[in-house]
Amino acid sequence: MKHDHLTPPEEREQVEDLELKSWKRKLIFAWVFTLPIALLMIEERILGYDMFMDAFELARGMEIAILVLAFPVLFYVGWDTMRGGLRGLFTGYFSMDSLIALGTLVAYLTGIGALFFASLTDYAGISAMIMAIFITGKYVEARAKGTATQEIRKLLALGAKEARVLRQGKEYLVPLAEITVGDTLLVKPGEKIPLDGMVIKGESSVDESMVTGESMPREKRKGDLVIGATINQDGVLYLRVTKIGEDTFLAHIVQLVEETQSSKIPIQALADKITSIFVPVILIVSLLTFGGWWYFGEDVGRALGNAIAVLVIACPCSLGLAVPIALMVGSGMGARKGILIRRGEAIQTMKEITIVAFDKTGTLTTGKPVVTDIQSTGSEHLLLQIAASLESLSEHPLAHAVLAKAHAQKLTLLSVKNFKAIRGKGIIGSVKGVPALIGTKRLCIERGISLGTWESPINTLESTGKTVLIVVQRKKVMGIIAVADTVRGDTRQALADLQAVGYRTVMITGDNIRTGEAIARYAGITEVIAEVLPEDKARHIKKLQEKGMVAFVGDGINDAPAMKQANVSIAMGTGTDIAIESGDIVLVQGNMQGVVQAIALSKATFRKIKQNLFWAFAYNVVAIPLAIAGVLHPVVAEIAMALSSITVVVNANLLRHTKI
């Protein structure tokens, strides 16, 4: 059975390059006809007329030649622009192309009129030049968009094309399209992991930097999840395929980046609204310019030239390009660093954020309990061995922490009989025939076991937010094991960075106040809202919003109501566990420094958007009055218009050099 997997990078690139190649063909075609027009106009202006030909016949011949050469430039190369732009005159919906289409059409018609009225200035050659320069600007824009989407191509290129599948004990090298969920794959050292899956055998370190941005490889062993397109480094891994095609992690990332790059943010809607008003206003201004110059100057040719210049210089191409090109560059940068901007509007909203609220478990902390302390009256190894033997039959998260510690020390588990798990309290059983238990103070008290001098160290550890497991053998305390959900390694620095630039940081947790405050003290957060049920987190976010705009950072699953309530939601995630659909911004690496980088990237991107809009308006503010005053020739006006688009493109790409 075959499946449709990710489109091969070569095909995807071919599709994305189609627009660029089209504009390139138009560009070459336009200038092939426009350059002879320019030469004819130069000859007409400089050489005057040939001594062996009548001056009138020469001029008439040049005018006809220019009309013939300009025709394919306007009505073949520029047909889409002409058709789309002129449609607005009949529908009332004016686009950016409306001004170019009307300006070039009027200029071309002056060439026809000049054949019959000698007093009329001929701008037919100018119309071809305007369209050729316009096409050149469109080609530059297409190239810029292609550059901005290279991150998607790079992601697609990461994927493997084939996989080693094990079937009936034999190894086959097959295309990805033939892999199904549940297949067993063999990945050798140095090979790409073909698809998302779970390790069922083997141990190795895996380089996930191309997907997560994390430079350090991650150790993988049985039960761990792996991401397709990452690189197996030093061991042989056997995987069971869990996701294929559009369900894979890489496919989700590609789709997410594509959606972001094509999305519109509020300021884009404002720019579109301005454009819809701006175009008809410019049409009126152009008509008034023509009327004014004709009435006061009595030169219809000069009046037409100035009116055309107004139409051309006012074309708001750069205005339409200002927001999307910056958004494309910013989202592409984020994808490379493991920061996925799921909703473009978050970029604009982020600049208003004053409060950053955090979930505790899985966000500020790793979400995986680990053994932090072991205290014993005798051998710590024996204590841990007995504890791990009892916990080996339990599925509790604390049991996993104890077992992981025992495995790390390569301890051999002992046989356990009469096993019984007492919910919420602990485990009892016989280890090699000796009665033993591991559990809470409450279980010890119920069993009549005296804690004696262990009361003090137990209370000390619990005061720091740790869970204490008491190990007892023959009704005598052997020692204690403290387990805690550890704070992420970069949490303190990340929070310090946020506070240094003025953000108010708050931790919201369902844990008791003592545990919450202990974690907060270590992390560097002074404000804690504890003992909050998941359904109540949204209410606390709403209360915080009374004092400012709030960004909420959570694991993206249990915190969904709070993330929906927040002005901006940032979803933490690691590997294939990432909840892509839950946040405005998703951090693939799942580390706290990513929060700082995401905020910095959002602000830098919006800063570029504002700069682009400034440049888009600046050209018009300066140039339109000059065109009305008759200072700008139509060709100069078109060059200035093209330069405004190029300025916006260059400025957006400078974002790539911004350190976040």
Can you read off the two tokens belonging to residue 57?
């016949």
The count of C-alpha atoms lying within 13 angstroms of the C-alpha of 239, restricted to the half-sphere facing its C-beta, is 31
- Parallel, antiparallel, or unpaired: how do β-strands 568-572 and 585-587 relate? parallel
Of 248, 222, 331, the residue nearest 578 (C-alpha): 248
Sequence letter at residue 426: G
Instruction: Give the long-range contacts of residues 172-175, CB within 8 A, separation 24 or more.
Output: none
Closest by Cα among 44, 295, 255, 20 to 144: 20
- Give the separation between CA 319 and CA 313, rounded to whole angstroms: 12
SS3 call for 53: coil
The radius of gyration computed from the CA coordinates of the chain, to the nearest angstrom, equals: 35
The amino acid that residue 104 corresponds to is T
Of 257, 198, 259, 256, the C-alpha closest to 228 is: 198
CA-based nearest residue to 188, from 216, 162, 214: 162
Token pair, residue 159, equals 């994927």
Output phi, psi for 455, to 5 deg. Answer: -55, -45
Q: What is the DSSP letter of 318?
A: H
Q: What angle do CA 347, 537, 372 make, to 5 degrees?
A: 95
Q: What b/e sequence results for 537-559 when a residue is b if at least 16 CB atoms lie within 10 Å of its CB, and e otherwise?
A: bbebbeebeeeebbbbbbbbbbb
Instruction: Give the CA distances from residue 604 to residues 191, 212, 258, 466, in Å, rounded to whole numbers and listed in that order.
Output: 37, 21, 20, 40
For β-strands 353-359 and 504-508, DSSP reports them as parallel
The strand pairing partners of 89, in sequence order, are none
**Closest to 592 in 3D by CA, of 214, 98, 190:** 214
**CA–CA distances in Å: residue 505 to residues 355, 485, 660:** 6, 20, 20
**For the chain, how many residues are written?**
660
The catalytic residue positions are 359
Q: List alpha helices for 233-360, DSSP H.
A: 249-262, 266-297, 300-313, 317-336, 345-350
List of E strands, 20-110: none
**How many CB atoms within 10 Å of residue 71?**
16
Structure-token pair, residue 253: 């990332």
Nearest to 415 by CA among 401, 398, 395, 430: 430
